[in-house]
């Protein structure tokens, strides 16, 4: 069994829909593109053919990625509220010594939202944030050295 991917029901449904679309209509469309490009002649110098094959490879990679996520998905309750950071929380943080407040979603990149960056729970920042509470200052090791952030808000 692969890595467990904790997802909200909405993200799971969105990925399921994307997977269905790619494995049906997506594959048919790319097959048509490849067929049309083959009809243009010599494949060794056929840019349309090579572009279509590259697009097919990227699509098949995305299909495999989504399949792996869905096979190992665990649906988490994203409506639960609490005083501490958990997977699915949106956290407002402020780096010590900086005035700017930044918002992060602690969870999978597949959960991303428009107004917040994503911090994986397995990343140094994500690990430091998990379990912390509003007002708490947490430290984590980044490539540039030790950083400290203050938890400003938890949504």
- Mean pLDDT of all residues in 122-140: 93
Angle at 34 between CA 29 and CA 35, to 5 degrees: 95
- Mean pLDDT of all residues in 5-11: 84
Residues 63-94: b if buried by 16+ CB within 10 A, e if exposed: beebeebeeebeebebeeeeeebbbbbbbbbb
Note the pLDDT of residue 9: 85
Q: Say how far apart CA 24 and CA 149 lie, in whole Å.
A: 45
pLDDT surpassing 60 at residue 36: yes
Q: Say how far apart CA 107 and CA 97 lie, in whole Å.
A: 26
Q: Is 139:68 a contact under the CB 8 Å cutoff?
A: no
Note the pLDDT of residue 82: 66
The more confident residue out of 39 and 58 is 58
Q: Say how far apart CA 117 and CA 26 lie, in whole Å.
A: 29
In order of their start, the domains of the chain are: 5-75 (1.10.287.180), 90-154 (3.10.50.30)
Upper half-sphere CA count for residue 41 (Cβ side, 13 Å): 3
Strand-pair category, 145-154 with 137-142: antiparallel
Residues 13-39: b if buried by 16+ CB within 10 A, e if exposed: eebeebbeebeeebeeebeebbeebee
**Tokens coding 44:** 């060794």
The pLDDT mean for the chain works out to: 89
pLDDT surpassing 90 at residue 155: no
Strand-pair category, 5-7 with 73-75: parallel
61-79 pLDDT per residue, tens: 999 999 999 999 988 875 5
95-126 pLDDT per residue, tens: 998 999 999 999 888 888 888 999 998 899 99
């Amino acid at each position: 069994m692969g890595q467990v991917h904790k997802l909200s029901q909405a993200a799971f449904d969105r990925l399921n829909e994307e997977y269905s679309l790619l494995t049906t209509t997506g594959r048919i469309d790319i097959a048509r593109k490849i067929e049309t490009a083959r009809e243009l002649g010599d494949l060794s110098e056929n840019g349309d053919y090579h572009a279509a094959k590259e697009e097919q490879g990227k699509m098949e990679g995305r299909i495999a990625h989504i399949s792996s996520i869905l096979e190992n998905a665990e649906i988490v309750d994203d409506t639960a509220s609490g005083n501490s950071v958990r997977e699915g929380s949106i956290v407002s943080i402020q780096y010590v010594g900086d005035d700017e407040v930044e918002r992060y979603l602690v969870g999978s990149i597949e959960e991303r939202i428009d107004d917040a960056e994503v911090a994986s729970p397995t990343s140094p920042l994500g690990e430091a944030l998990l379990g912390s509470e509003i007002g708490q200052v947490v430290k984590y090791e980044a490539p540039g050295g030790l950083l400290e952030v203050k938890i400003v808000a938890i949504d």
